[in-house]
Amino acid sequence: MIFLRDRLTRKPQLKIFLYILIVVTNMLRELKWSTLEQRRNQASLTILHKIHNKQVNVDHSHLTTTRNLKFLIPHSKTKHHMNSFFPRAIRLWNERPTEIKDAPTVHVPAFASGLNKFYAFLLMF
């Protein structure tokens, strides 16, 4: 009986949650604001760009580049490591177009501008 009561009380909560999600999504789209996930991804990519171009003093000896300005993703034995900064940021980096990754070394705003255009394009859909 408790299970049935829980199911009945969850349905209105689910409807309210979905309504709020739709309203917030539409508001973000209308205001042309990035989602929290997009802002976090952009910050991670900007930091990785600075590390790659030696603008931040971080050990980057484990960053191995391949062609098309891609990095090799470090092997992860655990989910914690797989979702840590470098493997996660490298996966994001490798998914981005070459034009964004090829921003001038000393000009971080050009890289950030390219990312902004990329995410603005994603907001259109």
pLDDT of residue 39: 86
CA 86 → CA 34, 82, 118, distances in Å?
Answer: 23, 8, 21
pLDDT, one tens digit per residue, over 57-98 is: 888 887 888 877 888 888 889 999 898 999 999 999 898 877
**Strand locations in 4-125 (E):** none
Identify the CA nearest to 49 among candidates 80, 75, 41: 41
* Entry pTM: 0.64
pLDDT, one tens digit per residue, over 12-28 is: 777 888 888 888 888 87
Q: Rg of the chain's alpha carbons, rounded to an integer?
A: 20
Does 3 have pLDDT greater than 60? Answer: no
pLDDT of residue 121: 58
Does 125 have pLDDT greater than 80? Answer: no
CA atoms within 13 A of residue 14's CA, in its CB half-sphere: 6
